Amino acid sequence: MEEKQGEKQDLPANGHAKAKANAALERIEAELVEQENIFLFIPNIIGYTRIVLAIASLYYMPLHPRTCSGLYSFSCILDAADGLAARRYNQSTTFGAVLDMVTDRCTTSCLLVFLASAFPRWSIVFQGLISLDLASHYIHMYASLTMGSSRQSHKKVEASRSYILHLYYTNRTVLFLFCALNELFFIALYLLSFSSPLLSPSLLLTPQSAPISAQPGSPAHPKPSTLFANPWSAGALEMARANKMDSTIPWILAGVSFPVMFGKQIINVIQLVKASKWLGEGDIAARRKAGIVAGKKRA
C-alpha cells in the first residue's frame, strides 16, 4: 500500500516537471520568434544579391554586352531560387514578395530604357511596355491588398475571377517560363543592338566608309580615346556597338521567345483590366454601404 501511494505521489510530480519543461520550451520558441530578423532570411538575401547583380549589369550595359548579359541573366535565374528557398525553409514573407516584384519591375524597366535609346524609332513601343508592366502590377498588387483577405498574396488569384491569371500565378512552371522567356527576348534584342545591321544601321560602317579626320597631320582613323574623352558618351557607345558580334544566336533567341513575350503582355493587359474592375466593385460596395448616390448633393 505504501509503495502504491509513493508511486501515486511520483506521478503528479513527474507531470508537473513535464509541464514546466514544456512551458520552458514554449518560452524559448516564443523568444526565437520574437528575435527573428526577416531581413536576413535566406530568400531575402538572395533578393539583395539579385539587386547587386542587376546594378553591375547596368554598369556594363552601354559598352560590354557579353558581361552585361551574363550578370543580368544570373540575376533573373536567382528570381526562381529565392522562391524555392522561401518554400524550403518556410521563410515566405510579405516583404520578400514585394522585394521580388519591385526588383523584377526595376530591372526590366532599366533594360527597356536602354533598348529605347538603342532603337530610337521604336522608343514609343518600349515606353509603352514599361508603362503597361508597372501599371498592371501596381494596380493588381493594390487590389490584392485592399480587396483581398488579410495578408493575401498578389499571386493568389481565384479561378472564378480570372482563369488565365489563376493558371499564370499558381502554376510555377507556367510562371517561370513566361518570366524567363520574356526577359530572354529583351536580352536578345539588347545583343542584337550590338550585332545586327538590320536593327542598327550604324553597324554597317566599315573602316573604308567611316569618316576620316580633317585635322592636318592626324591619322586617318584616330583611336576612340582621342575622339571621345568620356568613355560613356554617346559617341563612345556607337564605337562600342561598331565592334560587331555574331547575330545568329540572338536572332534565334528572339524568335523563340517572342511569342511568349507577346503572351506576357496580353496577361499584363488582362491583369490591369481585372484588377481595375475589382477595385471598381469595391468602390460600388463602399458607396452602397455609405448610402451615397451619384448625382445627389450632400446635405
Give dist(CA 278, CA 144) in Å, integer: 9
Q: What share of the chain is helix, strand, coil (3-state, %, to 5)?
A: 75, 0, 25
Q: Is residue 104 annotated as part of the catalytic site, yes or no?
A: yes
Q: Domain for residue 185, yes or no?
A: yes
Q: Give the pTM.
A: 0.75
Q: Domain for residue 156, yes or no?
A: yes
Mean pLDDT of 217-239: 54
Q: Domain for residue 101, yes or no?
A: yes
Per-residue pLDDT at 236 exceeds 80: no
Residue range 141-197, pLDDT digits in tens: 889 888 876 556 777 788 888 899 999 998 989 999 999 999 999 999 999 988 876
Q: Domain for residue 240, yes or no?
A: yes
Residue 297 near residue 161 (C-beta atoms within 8 A):
no
Q: Domain for residue 224, yes or no?
A: no
Confidence of residue 240 (pLDDT cuts 50, 70, 90): low
106 or 215: which leads in pLDDT: 106
Q: Domain for residue 191, yes or no?
A: yes
Q: Is 13 exposed, middle or buried (0-12, 13-18, 19+ CB in 10 A)?
A: exposed
210 or 48: which leads in pLDDT: 48
Average pLDDT, the chain: 81
- HSE-up of residue 59 (Cα within 13 Å, Cβ side): 7
Q: Domain for residue 182, yes or no?
A: yes
Residue 156 near residue 148 (C-beta atoms within 8 A):
yes
Residue range 86-125, pLDDT digits in tens: 999 999 898 998 899 999 999 999 999 999 998 999 999 9
Output the pLDDT for position 289: 87
**Residue 258, domain extent:** 94-200+233-289
Domain total of the chain: 1
Which one of 79, 82, 104, 133 is the catalytic residue?
Answer: 104
Q: Domain for residue 253, yes or no?
A: yes
